[in-house]
Structure 1
Amino acid sequence: MINNYLECQIKENFPYTPTVEQEIALKLLSKFLLSFLKDEVFILRGYAGTGKTSLIGALVKAMDKIQQKSILLAPTGRAAKVFSTYAKHPAYTIHKKIYRQRTTSDETINFSINDNLHTHTLFIVDEASMVSNKELLDSIFGTRRLLDDLIHFVYSGEGCRLLLIV
């Protein structure tokens, strides 16, 4: 029943009639959001122009309407700006959200993983295929593995979920 309500809210905010594939994605997404499985990740895949961004825009509007929190993230500033424009909701770079600057006693600057103070929040990452988990030895960020850091950050928050768009 709640699942149907969420689906209806997303459809209501969808800019056009969903295709069969979009209907399936919508149902699976609703099921994921209402699932109580811990540390579950939803991956939304599709070619360019298949309506992934439209679906996420509708999801964000539906979540706002039912007073559920969502945070939009992207790997680059440009991708965050485009994502924000399409979703009509603020978006941030992953680095800005998950890291905080630290200055050591020898004046060296590095960034550690921030505390996730968000509760019951859906973190939505657009262009997730650009997020690497390759260790960057000269990186000054966290564990030097962006994907590991992102997952650690999200799931350290109470009741937080992760949706990746690739």
Structure 2
Amino acid sequence: MRMCGDKLTWKCQIFAYMRVLFDRIFHVLRKAMKRGYIMNLTLDQKRAFEKLKEFAVSNSYNCFLLKGYAGSGKTTLLSLFVNYLEQNNISFRMLTPTGKAASILREKTGCSVQTIHKAIYDFDRIEVEEIRQTENKEDLRNSEHSEASEDDVVFFLHFKIKQKKPDDIVNIYIVDESSLISDQDQGNSFLRFGSGKLLSDLLSFVEGSKIVFCGDHAQLPPISMNYSPALDEEYLRRNYGLRVISSELKE
């Protein structure tokens, strides 16, 4: 028993040491990037990074689409981009459609990340709706009960788009996993967010700021849609009047 305990303690010590070592390596890499020591990038990444930097300081465009397949280096590029923004005192916020995606991006970039819903919605009210369900005539004939109907009560929780504070100035919103963002009314749920159209509400909330949509356009589109509107240049131009520039990572 003593030997088993010693082995367990030894393994725990090794694990703790490795964790500290990896944390130190991570922080060293972060500091190196902040000093401008950019890791080796592919040609596509270099081109995209230059376009992102120009986008950050120019007023020619207010929407940037960063597209690429899984493993093409989108997250690496976002890490470099947020370091560039920090160095140049350009305010930004990072958002994702899901909590899982937020956790992954937070771990990979070391930055604060919120879900879109948490960032742009506030609780508004509870709506109570009475639904009257009438039995058909055949059921009534065969029923021993005199009541022809019964009432059901349904509760809906409504969330409204937040009102931004005057001092809450964000220059650039960065949205990862943007292929999941729908622009169709999802109001069939007991949770009702804004207009029901997440993309529309997001763009309404960030009005006056720039936005970067990052994602894999080859992934499955949002539910009830056959394409990803947040990664579609023409859709964003036609429906929201955005001035869009894009870059795709293929290597």
TM-score by length of 1: 0.83
Counting only pairs closer than 5 Å after superposition, residues 95-134 of structure 1 correspond to structure 2 as 95-104=117-126, 109-117=157-165, 118-134=168-184
Counting only pairs closer than 5 Å after superposition, residues 36-115 of structure 1 correspond to structure 2 as 36-37=59-60, 40-104=62-126, 109-115=157-163
Select the residue among 38, 43, 47 that pairs with 1:20.
43
For 1:56-82, what per-residue CA distance to the aligned partner results, in whole angstroms no more than 9, with x for missing partners?
111112211222111110000000000
Task: Classify the secondary structure of the residue corresponding to 1:103.
Answer: strand
Tell me, in whole angstroms, the C-alpha distance in 1 between the residues paired with 2:45 and 2:127. 53
Q: Hey, what does 1:147 align to over in structure 2?
A: 199
Higher relative contact order (CA 8 A, sep 6+): 2
The range that moved more, 113-122 or 47-56, is 113-122
**Are 2:102 and 2:115, in contact at CA under 8 Å, matched by a contact in 1?**
yes
Given residue 128 of structure 1, which amino acid in structure 2 is its aligned partner? S
Unaligned segments of structure 2, at least 5 residues:
1-32, 129-154, 216-251
Measured after TM superposition, the shift of residue 19 of structure 1 is: 1.0
Identity %: 30
**Are 2:97 and 2:177, in contact at CA under 8 Å, matched by a contact in 1?**
yes
Measured after TM superposition, the shift of residue 109 of structure 1 is: 3.0
Measured after TM superposition, the shift of residue 34 of structure 1 is: 1.5
Measured after TM superposition, the shift of residue 33 of structure 1 is: 1.2
In our comparison, the structure showing a higher alpha carbon Rg is 2
**Are 1:13 and 1:62, in contact at CA under 8 Å, matched by a contact in 2?**
no
Measured after TM superposition, the shift of residue 11 of structure 1 is: 9.0
Tell me, in whole angstroms, the C-alpha distance in 1 between the residues paired with 2:35 and 2:55. 16
Q: Compared with structure 1, are the counterparts of its residues 137 and 144 closer, same or farther at alpha carbon in structure 2 (3 Å cutoff)?
A: same
**Are 1:10 and 1:59, in contact at CA under 8 Å, matched by a contact in 2?**
no
Aligned: 1:165 with 2:210: no
Larger relative strand fraction: 2
Q: Which runs of 4+ in 1 moved over 6 A?
A: none
Measured after TM superposition, the shift of residue 105 of structure 1 is: 7.9
Given residue 165 of structure 1, which amino acid in structure 2 is its aligned partner? C
Given residue 163 of structure 1, which amino acid in structure 2 is its aligned partner? V
Given residue 83 of structure 2, which amino acid in structure 1 is its aligned partner? K
